[in-house]
Amino acid sequence: MTEEIIIAGFGGQGVLSMGKIMAYSGVMEDMEVSWMPSYGPEMRGGTANVIVILSTERISSPIIRSFDTAIILNQQSLDKFEGSVKPGGILIYDGNGITRHPERSDITVYRVDATEEAVRMKSPKTFNMIVLGGFLKVKPVIRLGNVIKGLKKSLPERYHNLIPMNEKALERGMEIIREK
Amino acid sequence: MERELRLMKGNEAVAEAAIRAGADGYFGYPITPQSEILEYLMEARPYQTTGMVVLQAESEIAAINMVYGGAACGKRVMTTSSSPGISLKQEGITYIAGAELPCLIVNVVRGGPGLGTIQPAQSDYFQAVKGGGHGDYHLIVLAPASVQEMADFVGLGFDLAFRYRNPVMILSDGAIGQMMEKVYLSPQKERSKEVPEWATTGKPPTRERNIITSLDLDPRAQEVFNQKLIAKYDEIREKEVRYEEFQCQDAEYLLVAYGTSARVCQKSVQLARAEGLRVGLLRPITLFPFPTVRIRELADQVKGMMSVEMSAGQMVEDVMLAANGKVPVVHFGRMGGIVTTPDEVVENLKSKILRV
């Protein structure tokens, strides 16, 4: 099993950290993982993206241009990466601020309105965990228990009190994701 | 002892491995895409545990000369930088090579020339392998293709540096420096208390003064020294060549690639084989010494070779020398900080070699 994922959005949306949690969770699942971020000026306020590969085999190239799954968090990223999803792959996006919705018919498109839901839950910072929950619902490549373990690994200990809130966000994401 | 599993960036792995390898000192100056090395070491504060010195110098030139000084005292010292910073260090590097001192230099390569870009490239191959500074000298050059090798080559680099009294360079790139992968870390090694007999640590009554210099004004003596260096490089060529092969046994076409490009090419081999093309990959792990002998052998087996590098074509010259005209050798590469994709490699193999 190999799952090749791109996560893309604005800098500050938690794109890189969502990828990191995925990668840590993959390690907990005893998989091979790679996490390849965009870096430099892109991180400073522009668009940010990260390629995460989870695999039961040795990972060859950590840098790829077509993906099984694209997780898209803003319009620029949708415009940039919609075409990079492999035919038969999936695209997950947050509808917030999206004016041109995904158009491809050879992939499965899911919508998870995490921005809205995070505001409703009064915890905007768990936005990325709602998205991750949605992903895990449609692509259960990692077990929830291992995601929590991954979360513990990637969060500094002083934030471990936030784990229950993140767990709730993951579960919420699983509930609200919808196929388009 | 069991090795500890972590998920780390390549840069962080270098820093942690340096502490664990028992390094005595790190001297650096920040530059993207390798600043995490200095940041990690500053945060880890090894001077409180192993006693390793971590110092941000006032410039790259100061950092390499601190390395020169530390190495002259027989210490395990290192510096890291990225392309423009490594250019600044070249004077110090040739002096260190000329003084026959061990040290470790890490270049996390970004695109050039000049300030270029901060994205990954492999355009410093000539600089690393053919000299970089002035005079007839070689570095031992290790080319990691994973975060694991970023960690492993730190200890290996120090060992080779001391075995041959020669500077060692880890030639990495922005992609391997920035990406996170699983890495198994070696247990903490104690810092060596041994003082090499050539180190300048003060003259005891029992021996003559030790002199560290790269200067000899007597041409005949300098030539004798040059010949000594040549003999050392020949010994390194004979004993230290390292490479890895993927599906070369029945290969009709050979890709040659190191570092990030070798990772890309592994996938290209799979893609090409799925189309029925018998393609293999040779990945040099040491760039100096280069796996010339093995490539020469493969030249008797394959119909053509393609060197894949994120450069305008540098290593391809060494592949050509190794193939020695027996088979066509071509180059394919992206530049400017763009990483080649696996299918691009296959397309170019088809258009450049298969039609020959």
pLDDT above 70 (res A43): no
Residue of A24, A32, A61 with shortest CB distance to B267: A61
Q: What is the mean pLDDT of residues B39-67?
A: 98
Nearest to B129 by CA among B87, B162, B171: B171
Interacting residues of B243 by C-beta distance below 8 A, sequence separation 6+: B282, B283, B284, B285, B286, B291, B294
Cα separation, B129 vs B134, whole angstroms: 13
Q: Domains plus CATH for chain B?
A: 4-192+228-239 (3.40.50.970), 243-354 (3.40.50.920)
pTM exceeds 0.90 for this model: yes
Nearest to B21 by CA among B188, B138, B252, B219: B188
In the prediction, which pLDDT does A155 show?
85
- What DSSP letter does each residue of A9-29 carry, written as one string? EETTSSHHHHHHHHHHHHHHT
C-beta atoms of A20 and B181 within 8 A = no
Rg (CA), chain B: 21
Give one word for B259, left, alpha or beta, with left for phi > 0 and alpha for psi -120 to 50. Answer: left
Residue of B118, B179, B182 with shortest CB distance to A36: B179
Tell me the two tokens of residue B199. Answer: 């180190």
Which 6-35 residues of chain B touch chain A by CB within 8 A?
Answer: 7, 32-33
B321 at A interface, C-beta within 8 A: no
pLDDT by residue (tens digit) across A120-165? 999 988 999 999 999 999 999 999 999 999 898 888 899 999 999 9
- Which of the four pLDDT bands, split at 50, 70 and 90, describes residue B1? low
Tell me the two tokens of residue B187. Answer: 């247990």
Residues of B in contact with A36 (CB under 8 A): 175, 178-180
Instruction: Give the pairing type, strands B167-173 and B180-185.
Output: unpaired
Residue of A20, A33, A39 with shortest CB distance to B182: A33
Q: What is the mean pLDDT of residues B143-162?
A: 98
Nearest to B170 by CA among B192, B147, B190: B147
In the prediction, which pLDDT does A45 show?
60
Tell me the two tokens of residue A128. Answer: 């990325």
- Please give the ipTM for the structure prediction: 0.92
Q: What is the mean pLDDT of residues A30-48?
A: 80
C-beta atoms of B341 and A33 within 8 A = no
Cα nearest neighbour of A66 on chain B: B341
Q: What is the mean pLDDT of residues B233-259?
A: 98
Task: Mutation target for A interface from B5, B6, B7, B260: give the one with most A CBs within 10 A.
Answer: B7
Rg (CA), chain A: 15
In the prediction, which pLDDT does A40 show?
64
* CA–CA–CA angle B109, B112, B116 (5° rounding): 105
C-beta atoms of B182 and A61 within 8 A = no
Angle at which helices A144-154 and A127-138 cross, to 10°: 150
Could you tell me the CATH number of the domain that includes residue A73? 3.40.920.10
pLDDT above 90 (res B355): no
Cα separation, B214 vs B223, whole angstroms: 13
Cα separation, A36 vs A38, whole angstroms: 7
Q: How many domains does chain A have?
A: 1
> Within 10 Å of residue B219's Cβ, how many Cβ atoms?
8
- Which of the four pLDDT bands, split at 50, 70 and 90, describes residue B356? low
Instruction: Give the pairing type, strands B304-308 and B329-332.
Output: parallel
B119 at A interface, C-beta within 8 A: yes
Interacting residues of B126 by C-beta distance below 8 A, sequence separation 6+: B314
Q: Give residue A159's domain range.
A: 2-179
CA distance A42 to chain B (A): 11
pLDDT above 60 (res A42): no
Under DSSP, is residue B14 helix (H, G, I), strand (E, B) or coil?
Answer: helix
The number of C-beta contacts closer than 8 angstroms across A and B is 66
Q: What is the mean pLDDT of residues B187-209?
A: 94
Residues of A in contact with B264 (CB under 8 A): 60-61, 63
pLDDT above 90 (res B135): yes
pLDDT above 90 (res B3): no
Q: For residue B193, which amino acid is it?
A: K
